[in-house]
């Protein structure tokens, strides 16, 4: 099925460990996004990529890096995980501001 | 900045009751407006959208009308079902000030049999 695929679905890290969250879309969308969702705080934008080869910071970029590997793939890296990064992470893609986003199913990350 | 405010939940209704979830926005320019739904353990799914004033978005019995004069986009459904239990998010995009979508905090709906 066409859509946005995120891996892994679940992950537990120890403080200070690093990991990369993977995201791929097969809809030929130009724009891709990484959000985190925390209870009572809605969705907050971490980074986005308006097109292949470009990335920009969102509302909460500290502690994260991203790579737009090609048009399909947009990865999120935590270099040194902290308990404050415990959250559910969603990747999304879009073909323009009037079309809405297609979301992946999320990665549930716990940092202990 | 551009933002969305939606009614706080949780909202609990009996099956076949009428649903309204209020959403108002603040934006420069002429945004597109959206409702998303999130079922437990899943990502957000686009439910409906409207791209200009007076447009009505509709899907699966849900409706919302883009009201520029009141800067609102309230979600309604005439008869809810247990399967409608989820979290609903109002959102806007396409303004002059940002390149992403701005989401409300979400409203949790529980429908009881």
Of A42, A58, A106, the CB nearest to B43: A106
Residues of B with CB under 8 A from a CB of A: 32, 34, 36, 42-46, 49, 51, 89, 93-94, 99-101, 103-106
Q: Could B49 and A100 be called an inter-chain contact, meaning their C-beta atoms sit closer than 8 Å? A: yes
Q: Is the pLDDT of residue A40 over 80?
A: no
Q: Which residue has the higher pLDDT, A99 or A24?
A: A24
What is the average per-residue pLDDT within A77-103?
Answer: 93
B65 vs B55: CA distance, rounded Å: 6
Q: Could B46 and A40 be called an inter-chain contact, meaning their C-beta atoms sit closer than 8 Å? A: no
Q: What is the pLDDT of residues B50-107, one digit of tens each?
A: 999 999 999 999 999 999 999 999 999 999 999 999 999 999 987 655 667 889 999 9
Q: What pLDDT does residue B28 have?
A: 83
Of A41, A45, A103, the CB nearest to B44: A103
Q: What are the beta bridge partners of residue B54? A: none
Q: Which of B42, B43, B95 has the highest number of chain A CBs within 10 A, making it the mutation to test binding with A?
A: B43
Q: Is the pLDDT of residue A72 over 90?
A: yes
Is residue B24 a contact partner of residue B71, using CB atoms and an 8 Å limit? yes
Cα A29 to its chain centre, rounded Å, is 15
Report the chain B residue with the minimal C-alpha distance to residue A91. Answer: B43
Q: What pLDDT does residue A36 have?
A: 96
A24 vs B111: CA distance, rounded Å: 34
Q: List phi, psi (to 5°) of A83.
A: -55, -30
B107 vs A33: CA distance, rounded Å: 23
Of B44, B51, B105, the CB nearest to A98: B51
Of A42, A98, A105, the CB nearest to B42: A105
A27 vs A107: CA distance, rounded Å: 20
Non-local (6+) Cβ contacts of A38 within 8 A are A44, A87, A88
Q: List phi, psi (to 5°) of B94.
A: 85, 25
Q: What pLDDT does residue B2 have?
A: 85
Q: What is the pLDDT of residues B4-47, one digit of tens each?
A: 999 888 999 999 999 999 999 998 888 999 999 999 889 999 99
Alpha helices in A14-80 (DSSP H): none
Q: What is the pLDDT of residues A43-70, one digit of tens each?
A: 999 999 999 999 999 999 999 999 998 9
């Amino acid at each position: 099925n066409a859509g946005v695929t995120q891996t892994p679905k679940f992950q537990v890290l120890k403080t200070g460990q690093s990991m990369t969250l993977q995201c791929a879309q097969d809809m030929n969308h130009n724009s891709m996004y990484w959000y985190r969702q925390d209870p009572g705080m809605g969705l907050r934008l971490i980074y986005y990529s308006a097109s292949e080869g470009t990335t920009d910071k969102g509302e909460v970029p500290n502690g994260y890096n991203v790579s737009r590997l090609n048009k399909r793939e947009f990865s999120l890296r935590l270099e040194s995980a902290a308990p404050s990064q415990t959250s559910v992470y969603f990747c999304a893609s879009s073909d323009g501001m009037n079309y809405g986003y297609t979301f992946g199913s999320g990665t549930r990350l716990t940092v202990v | 900045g551009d933002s969305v405010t939606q009614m706080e939940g949780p909202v609990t209704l009996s099956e076949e009751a009428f649903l309204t979830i209020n959403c108002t926005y603040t934006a420069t320019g002429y945004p597109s407006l959206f409702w998303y739904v999130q079922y437990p353990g899943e990502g957000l799914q686009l439910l409906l959208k409207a791209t200009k004033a007076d447009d009505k978005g509709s899907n699966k019995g849900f409706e919302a009308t883009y009201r520029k004069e009141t800067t609102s986009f309230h979600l309604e459904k005439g008869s809810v079902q247990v399967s409608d239990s989820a979290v609903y998010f109002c959102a806007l995009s396409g303004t002059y000030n940002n390149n992403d979508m701005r989401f409300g905090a979400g409203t949790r709906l529980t429908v009881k049999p």
